[in-house]
Structure formats: structure tokens, C-alpha cells
Amino acid sequence: MQEDSGLINLNIIMKNSNNKKHSWTKKQAQSASVPNFGKKYIGEPELFKMIGSVKNKKILELGSGNGYWLELLTKRGAKCTGIEISEEQLKIAKQSNPEISYIQGDITKLYKYKLEQNTYDIIFLEHVLLEISSIEKIKSIMKESYKLLKKSGIIVVSELHPFAPSAKPGNIRAPKDYNYFSSGSIIEIVSKRVDGGETVYRDFHWTLSDLSGSLTQAGLHIIEITEPRPSLKLAEKYPELSYRHTVPMSFWVKAIKP
């Protein structure tokens, strides 16, 4: 078994539908019309269960990527803004829906973008905090988000479940001394897409207490934590989802500005 950059290769196969290898160095920019299994069959139902009707609500997505979520929210009547640092991802997002407002920027420096405080009904982050290199930066994001939310506004955070990397053999590379409490460790994960391809992610590992603590320390009140999973029927229909029926791939947190 070969070792690379201090990471142990746990039998990962990196390929897309054309059997070409992916690079470990950055997330793949891809069309918003090609989500992964988790986003399509688990994330969408969970998000709308948490936030309900979004008609005429102002929503800010931090780390909006290719615009997948903002397109869905806009179609349901929300007034959306996204902040994304990747020029490549923003290009894809703007082509998909030029009516959505996008800002190219670093979400760890929200104070730079002169966003109006006490404005947003909902702030949403999906698999973004795992890309942040320090817990202090995560805390800063939450403190700035608190300022931007209206009173009684909510923030919804969806992240890779800290237990998920060990759920399915072959989908992770991790440091030799990696364990659950290795906050800040770099891990590399393969995610299956609904088009049959695979996308490779390099993320930082944070514990549940790291992430929940960043919310409460910012003054936000956590009102719901969920660990969604596919139904048995869905898992039988899509074998790629079967292991997610017994071990959660993501956890979702809903918090409110009191």
C-alpha cells in the first residue's frame, strides 16, 4: 500500500464516468444539474423540512459553489445571495441562473463585503466548514452570520458527519494517527455522483462539539440537530446509498438568532 504526503491510502478508486483519475488538490467544479446522491436524495428533503416555505424570504448561502441550492431556493420564491471564493464555480453558477446575486469572496472575511446587518431570514452552509483550516475562522463565520441574521432568523449548517469517513471502506485517506478527536486533520473523501462519476474532496476534520460550539459561542441557539438517512426503499433502489441507511453521512444543525 503506497503512502502519499503522510496519508494512508485506504483502497480508494478515483474515477469519473470516463474512468479518468481525479486530482486530490481541489474540489471538482461541476454543473449544478449533476448533484451527488446525498445532495439529491437526502439533502434536499432535509433542507426544506427544516426551513419550510421560503417565498419572499432573503437567503444567504455561504460557500454557494455551483449554485445548486440557490437555484432550488429561487424556484421556490426566495430572494437569494451567494458568496463563493472559486471563480470557476461562480462562472458555472452565473450561467445556470444569472438572476441570482453572487459575490466572489472569502466567507472567513464576511465583514469585508458590506452586507447589511439584521437582513437575512436564513443563512445556509452545506459542507463548507470542512474546508476551513482553523476553528477560530469557523467561529468568526458564525459571529458574522449572527450579525447578518434578522431577529428570529435561522442558520442551517449541513456538514459531513464526523463518523461518516469510517462508514464505508475505501472512501477515505487519512493521517496515520487520525482519530475522531483529531480536530483540524486533513482527510480525503470520495463522493459518488448521480451520473455515475466520483468527486474527490480534501477536507479538514472537525468534531461535533467543534461545530456546535462555534454556533453557541456566537450567540445562536441550537434548536434542532438531525442525522438524516435514506429510507430502506431508497437504499434498495440505489445501492450506493445502502451504507448510509445504517451510518449517517451528514448531520444538520438548525439554530436561531434570539
Q: What pLDDT was estimated at residue 245?
A: 66
Domains defined for the chain, CATH in brackets: 3-256 (3.40.50.150)
Q: How far is residue 66 CA from its own chain's centroid? A: 12
pLDDT digits (tens, 9 = 90+) for 216-233: 999 999 999 999 887 778
CB 218 within 8 A of CB 145: yes
190 pLDDT higher than 50: yes
Q: How far is residue 133 CA from its own chain's centroid? A: 15
The enclosing H or E element of 94 equals helix 87-96
Q: What pLDDT was estimated at residue 37?
A: 67
pLDDT interval class at 86 (50, 70, 90): very high
The mean pLDDT of 149-171, rounded to a whole number, is 81
- Which has more confidence, 104 or 198? 104
- The cell numbers describing 80, all together, are 437569494
Q: What pLDDT was estimated at residue 169?
A: 54
Q: What pLDDT was estimated at residue 182?
A: 86
CB 62 within 8 A of CB 80: no
- The cell numbers describing 106, all together, are 472569502
C-beta contacts of 180-184 below 8 A and 24+ residues apart: 180/207, 181/207, 183/135, 183/207, 183/210, 184/133, 184/134, 184/135
The enclosing H or E element of 222 equals strand 221-226
4 pLDDT higher than 80: no
Range name among 96-100, 127-131, 150-154 with the lowest pLDDT average: 96-100
Cβ count within 10 A of residue 98:
9
Q: What pLDDT was estimated at residue 96?
A: 84
Q: What pLDDT was estimated at residue 198?
A: 74
109-148 as b/e: b if 16+ CB within 10 A? ebeeeebeeeebbbbbbbbbbbebeebeebbbbbbbbbbb
Residue 223 CB contacts under 8 Å (≥ 6 apart), including other chains: 254, 255, 256
Q: What pLDDT was estimated at residue 165?
A: 61
pLDDT digits (tens, 9 = 90+) for 20-71: 333 323 344 444 444 466 788 889 999 999 999 999 999 999 999 999 999 9
DSSP structural state of residue 35:
-
